[in-house]
Amino acid sequence: MDITSAPLREQAPVSKSGPAPTEPMTPESDTNAQAIPPSLYATIFMVGVVMISLGPILDPTVKDLGIPLSQAGLTSVGYAVGMLAGVLALNFGLAHVPVKWTLIGAAWLQTLGLALGALLATGLWSLFGAYVIVGAGCVFLNSLPGMWITSHVKVGTSHAMMVLLTYFAVGMMVTPLIIGAVLGLGVSWRWVLGIEAILSLGLAVLLTVMPVSDIKGRENLRAQRLREVIGFNTRLFWAVLCASILYIGSEFIFNVWLPKFEIDVFDVSKTVASLAVTLFWVGLLLGRIIVVPLTRRFLASRLLMVGTAVMAVFALGVALSVNAAMSVVMAFFAGLGASGAFPLILSFSARFPKWHAGVVFSAVIMAGALGRIVFPYLIGPLAESLGFRVAIGLAFLLAAVLSGLSLYLHRVSGERQDPM
């Protein structure tokens, strides 16, 4: 991708004492998307495929395995628990394992979990256990490509992250539509997991044969090292983690529960229900295409504030929709607003120096896992006690709080002002 004539925002490390000096931006200093190993694009695409499938198969698994609505969110909790365990292992025990071999092992682990879910799940807790394994493998596949970028791309990080996560968005967009179509034809959810296991196995083979350079200087975290990372800019560290929890919580409510919301509230087919989450991700993908060039002209915090405000407004629209058609349209525009949020949040990790950036990146992923554990689980009990409209409205609240938090991110990150 060519650099436009507009100045590119540098995500230079900024300590708590103020912005660090930066060198002038030149076209030669930017690392474009072509410098990123192609296998990382395939990896992040597969993460999207596996992650989003939790939503479209929720209704058939609940009915097939006899899971009550109040406990339906526990499958996504199992996935998030696995992610949390994986990200802790990544930072505290596996830093000296080369990135390439960690990715290969993670792909095999994800394959195992998907196969166990497809073949052996007989109830809530066996499916929960299978998804713990899936999540543990998936978090490495989700974290390491972004860690690679924040460690290797110090100029134009927002742009590079946006391009990488566009592949993630494509996986999230096409998968619900395909799953909804095959479920509508009477195919079992077990076949869906089985096919994903085969695709994950193919990813393991791809990662084996294609090169991926290592991330130099990675170390297993110890308490002193963690204090060093946090102490570089304490307020920014915690603000970015809070932003991750809020955004992932809001997005994952839609990912997991939107198809079930459509089925229970509007009595639509599985195919139509999956269309809602597909259009959420169509909006997210189109928005990401729009936001990519804007990262070269506007501050990350400003884009985050506007985008999450739009997401909040249309998430409320989903909850208040009078019919399925209106709900689907509102979901599309909610996705449009959400499009840049997570890449922009992740890009702040590059404001930490050297290997610190990778630690902060994975901490953001860990915080996102907490958001996946808490908020999607709450939807089940809320829907059962207060109704689905109130429950799904939690996504609005989280996005609105994040929009306000972006103002604080601007203040503590040391972003440069726009040259006007």
Task: Give the per-residue pLDDT at 213.
Answer: 80
Other CB atoms within a 10 A radius of the CB of residue 184 amount to 14
Residue 124 pLDDT grade (very low, low, confident, very high; cuts 50, 70, 90)? very high
Q: Which two tokens stand for residue 18?
A: 């103020």
Q: How much is the mean pLDDT over the chain?
A: 84
Q: How confident is the model at residue 164 (pLDDT cuts 50, 70, 90)?
A: confident
Q: Return the pLDDT at 7.
A: 29
> Please, are residues 330 and 277 in contact by the beta-carbon 8 Å criterion?
no
Strand partners, 15: 18
| 201 phi and psi angles, rounded to 5 deg | -65, -40
Instruction: Give the sign of the dihedral formed by CA 59, CA 63, CA 69, CA 70.
Output: negative
- Amino acid identity, position 121: A
Tokens representing 183 are: 């479920």
Q: Using an 8 Å Cβ cutoff, are 405 and 367 in contact? A: no
Residue 375: what pLDDT? 92
**Tens digits of per-residue pLDDT, 298-341?**
888 999 999 999 999 999 999 999 999 999 999 999 999 998 89
Overall average pLDDT of the 137-147 stretch: 89
Rounded-to-integer distance, Cα 280 and Cα 292, Å: 18
| pLDDT at residue number 418 | 39
Highest mean pLDDT among 70-79, 137-146, 366-375, 393-402: 393-402
Residue 6 pLDDT more than 60? no
Condensed to tens digits (0 to 9), the pLDDT of residues 336-353 reads 999 889 889 988 887 877
Q: In 3-state terms, the chain is what percent helix, strand and coil (to 5)?
A: 75, 0, 20
Give the per-residue pLDDT at 354.
64
DSSP 15: E
- pLDDT interval class at 355 (50, 70, 90): low
Q: Which domains does the chain have, with CATH numbers?
A: 37-413 (1.20.1250.20)
Q: Distance (Å, rounded) from C-alpha 12 to C-alpha 1? A: 21
Residue 233 burial (10 A CB sphere; 0-12, 13-18, 19+): buried
pTM: 0.79
Q: How many CA atoms lie within 13 A of 115 on its CB side?
A: 12
Question: Phi and psi for 355 in degrees, rounded to 5?
Answer: -70, -15
Where residue 154 falls among pLDDT bands split at 50, 70, 90?
Answer: low
pLDDT digits (tens, 9 = 90+) for 360-399: 877 887 888 889 889 999 999 999 999 999 999 999 999 9
